[in-house]
Chains A and B, each alone.
Chain A
């Protein structure tokens, strides 16, 4: 299955989306907050890319820069190319034409992301009317198909229901149905399963997988849950303090994490081997705090928390470079792969 996934990731050579040197900052009362500081990444058609990192690492802001669903105070520079068209340059009405049709979003909170005052049917057909100029009847029929696609039983009956009549998992499926209604080429899923029970999570992830397989939708999955990443992603970009610090195919990343931050994330993950009692030990946490977003000194931003930081780490900032001969394993670290952490642990 993992092999199949990697194959899907490599399926197409030319990227569908390429983000180049993206910077996003917000003017606040406390000064300019740099949320994203020069992120570059690509997304192939049909690929599932996971953006990982702690809260405040800039993963959501990076992803939401694509349809520019950012607060009005956001300042965006760099380029976000979809089919060669730079989305950063689009005006408001061009962006609206893009949202919901080429690029759509599934948000984290299924309980509140649907409008409580309108029926499920209204909220699905609304996006169809907006982008596809379907007749009422055709839109309704399409809405039934969509609910079927996301695995909702009795889809025709659900159209007349209101969000409060549905469970969280069902609401998230409705959100996904809305998001894929116009067969977007890119689906951004912002922590789509975080608010759901584990059993329901698996079902929702299955929906994403089948959408990718049936519609060829490329998915940007924002998550801090490495279990979800391992389950569904083709490729992973790990973000820290507004930058990508490591990027690799999912199997490669889990087998050979190079950046100490990635290692820290993996160390904070419980595993079955540890739970069976033979290797029982405390889950490691990463000491320290994410740096304040107001300043950006010329040093490795992870250095203050890094167990293997040396003098060169505070002298300059490492760039995101290709590591070894793996296909596209990138890491921004002067000492990639050094495992002082494990030495300390043993």
Chain B
């Protein structure tokens, strides 16, 4: 398993490097000149030139890239062109907010998706199956922003159960924090719950018709044990894969959800940075996203190994 992880880790570093090149070039390929944006109304060419010089935008691209890489390694992500704060500090403020939202949404998705997917599969063709599948289809089809607005209308405006928007840090007041995070987390988690439900259901249907499930029944085990231990354990690989794949969607979903609920997270930062051509922030945001993806994929690989003895033990004999 150690060797297996080391190989995955090596691959991850290479991917991050490639990603940094793509990010670097991609941002510079965007139409529009940040120096012009920064210079304000009616700038003189001298002002623009001095801004270019200040941010190193006058140097050749390879030089700019290696400067960027050098700073990256030391944790210096540059300075936001808008509020002049270090990008690393901005990220440190924003990432935990989105991380909390993402984790809560994932929890909603896992609990709802896996539970109802399993029930639907175990009761295939019965009322509960059709109900779960129907809600799944609905959850997939409904866009985040619409669901978010509806949720605000119902729970905040009509029923007045929960606040409509805003953010309180968890460290400041956990109760108020959760109160404000519940709606966004449920809204963001719904789509993933639906995807996870459908995938869990189909994986479980496969597992439930497997020979080893018949063996488990022949041992006299209870229905919940046959379904929840023998079949579910073999479906978890699918669940983990889907979770990993969905994380990209979670980030883009967070962008929309954070806008609706006015949460000062990573998603909102992304939108604001793109709108103001805040190069250093955009680069950092994209790079963090890439690293996030890679970390998740690494975790998925670790989970595979933990779940599947064939992978785990193959690694052991190789290394």
Contact = CB atoms under 8 A, between A and B. Distances in A.
A115 B212 CA distance: 5
A85 interface: no
A178 B212 CA distance: 12
A12 B98 CA distance: 74
A113 B219 CA distance: 12
Interface stretch (B32-40, B184-192, B306-314): B306-314
A113 B234 CA distance: 13
A127 B313 CA distance: 26
A177 to B, nearest CB: 12
A117 B218 contact: no
Contacts of B218: 67, 69, 99-100, 104-105, 107, 179
A242 to B, nearest CB: 22
Given A115-B230, A115-B233, A116-B212, A165 B219 contact: no
B220 A100 contact: yes
A113 B310 contact: no
Nearest to B232: A117
Contacts of A178: 215, 219
A124 to B, nearest CB: 10
Contacts of B308: 116-117
Nearest to B216: A115
Bin chain A's interface residue count: 20 to 34
B222 interface: yes
A20 interface: no
B8 interface: no
A294 interface: no
A8 B221 CA distance: 33
Contacts of A97: 220
A171 B216 CA distance: 15
A280 interface: no
A109 B219 CA distance: 16
B217 interface: yes
Size band of the interface chain B makes with A: 20 to 34
A204 B234 CA distance: 28
A176 B222 CA distance: 21
Contact of A99 (B210, B217, B234): B217
B211 A117 contact: no
Contacts of A126: 219, 221
Given A96-B221, A126-B221, A127-B219, A116 B309 contact: yes
A178 B308 CA distance: 22
A71 B86 CA distance: 65
B71 interface: no
B214 A107 contact: yes
Contacts of A105: 215, 218
Contacts of A116: 212, 234, 308-310
A342 to B, nearest CB: 42
A131 interface: yes
A175 interface: yes
Interface in B218-254: 218-222, 230, 233-234
A112 interface: yes
Given A101-B220, A131-B220, A112 B233 contact: no
Nearest to B215: A113
Contact of A112 (B210, B309, B310): B210
Contacts of A119: 309
A101 B215 CA distance: 13
B233 A113 contact: no
Nearest to A95: B220
A261 B18 CA distance: 72
A71 to B, nearest CB: 10
Contacts of B210: 112
A109 B222 CA distance: 23
Contact of A130 (B214, B219, B309): B219
A113 B212 contact: yes
Interface in A103-123: 104-105, 107, 109, 112-119
Interface string A215-239: 0000000000000000000000000
B206 to A, nearest CB: 12
A98 interface: yes
Could you say which of A101, A109, A118 has the most chain B C-beta atoms within 10 Å of its C-beta?
A: A118
A101 B234 CA distance: 26
B310 A164 contact: yes
B217 to A, nearest CB: 6
Contact of A107 (B215, B230, B307, B309): B215
A99 B217 CA distance: 8
Contacts of A69: 214, 217-218
A247 to B, nearest CB: 26
Contacts of B307: 117
Contact of B233 (A100, A117, A130): A117
A162 B215 contact: no
Interface of A: 67, 69, 95-101, 104-105, 107, 109, 112-119, 126-127, 130-131, 162, 164-165, 175, 178-179
**The 4 nearest A-B residue pairs measured at CB:** A100-B220, A99-B220, A100-B219, A115-B212
Interface of B: 210-212, 214-222, 230, 233-234, 307-310, 313
Given A69-B217, A96-B221, A164-B310, 11 more contacts: A99-B217, A99-B219, A99-B220, A100-B218, A100-B219, A112-B212, A116-B308, A117-B233, A130-B221, A131-B220, A178-B215
25 contacts: A95-B220, A97-B220, A98-B220, A99-B218, A99-B219, A99-B220, A100-B219, A100-B221, A113-B212, A114-B212, A115-B233, A116-B234, A116-B310, A118-B230, A119-B309, A126-B219, A126-B221, A127-B219, A130-B220, A130-B221, A162-B309, A162-B313, A165-B313, A175-B215, A179-B218
